[in-house]
Amino acid sequence: MKYTIIASPIGDLLAARDEDGLAELQLPAGKHAQRPQQAWVRDDSAFDDVRTQLEEYFEGERTEFDLPLSPSGTAFQRRVWTALRDIPYGETRSYGQTAQAIGSPSASRAVGLANGQNPIPIIVPCHRVVGADGSLTGYGGGLDTKRWLLGHEAQHAGLFAL
């Protein structure tokens, strides 16, 4: 596995990829420690596509990512993560709406757990999932980061509505 560090407005992001695609994007804050595993090898040149697309996102120029992804998770988690990518830029969905979207309407708690295990935040936009009443609920990168990402998208979403 190769990794790099990518500077961003929310702090340094740690990106890791295997031969199939991006496997992890670790945020600078929150409950998941940001550190490469011992067997990983730093290779900054292997992440030009990821770096470019994240820079475009943070500049408000990109609303969707087009990167090969290789997240590790259960079949259920991967279904949830696929559904997260269908949430439009600048919009939010509740855990219940996400459960409905994957055909498991009674699985909102399981969706929340899968959302919290998303190894590729921002690119797989788990920050767009909120409580049923619209409140900001837990986020692996911390609620301040979630608030920043949602505010960033809200600020730029109007630029893309023609």
Q: Which residues are catalytic?
A: 126
Give 52's contacts (C-beta < 8 A, 6+ positions apart). Answer: none
For residues 37-46, b (16+ Cβ closer than 10 Å) or e, as one string? eeebeeeeee
Report CA torsion sign: 113, 116, 120, 126.
positive
Q: Residue 162's pLDDT is what?
A: 36
Mean pLDDT of 146-160: 85
Q: Which two tokens stand for residue 43?
A: 């290779």
Tell the burial category of 27 from Cβ atoms under 10 Å away from its Cβ (0-12, 13-18, 19+): buried
Domains of the chain are 2-58 (3.30.160.70), 75-160 (1.10.10.10)
For residue 67, CA distances in Å to 4, 76, 80, 144 come to 16, 21, 18, 26
Task: Give residue 110's pLDDT band: very low, low, confident or very high (50, 70, 90).
Answer: very high
Question: 73: burial class by Cβ within 10 Å (0-12, 13-18, 19+)?
Answer: middle
What is the spatial distance between Cα 124 and Cα 84, in angstroms, rounded to a whole number? Answer: 6
Give residue 55's pLDDT.
98
* pLDDT tens-place string over residues 55-93: 999 999 999 999 999 999 999 999 999 999 999 999 999
Residues 6+ positions from 151 with CB-CB distance below 8 Å:
none
Look at residues 42, 43, 50 and name the one whose alpha carbon lies nearest to residue 25.
50
Of 154, 132, 126, 151, nearest to 30 by C-alpha is: 126
